[in-house]
């Protein structure tokens, strides 16, 4: 559902895209850098799914579901920040 799309397509895939771009720009290995362009395109498609589909899902939610969604997003952000610290 909406939690899965938010978590995977908008949070995790965004982190993956950023990592791929960073490694590619460092150009530590030319073949890897070239291949990462294709991974970036794929990740961008996954993110687009969330960006395009999640708003319509949220519009159909009741107030309790929206609050649950907000709490889920907060929990995911805490996990992401915690993982960056580690």
Neighbours of 50 (CB within 10 A): 21
Who's near 26: CB < 8 A, 6+ residues apart?
33
Q: Which pLDDT score is estimated for 80?
A: 87
Q: Considering the entire predicted model, what is its pTM? A: 0.76
Residues of the chain falling short of pLDDT 50: none
């Amino acid at each position: 559902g909406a939690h899965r799309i938010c978590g995977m397509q908008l949070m995790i895939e965004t982190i993956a895209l950023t990592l791929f771009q960073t490694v590619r720009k460092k150009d530590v290995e030319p073949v890897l850098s070239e291949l990462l362009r294709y991974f970036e395109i794929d990740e961008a498609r996954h993110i687009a799914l969330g960006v395009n589909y999640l708003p319509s899902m949220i519009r159909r939610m009741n107030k309790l579901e929206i609050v649950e969604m907000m709490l889920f997003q907060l929990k995911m952000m805490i996990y992401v920040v915690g993982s960056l610290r580690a």
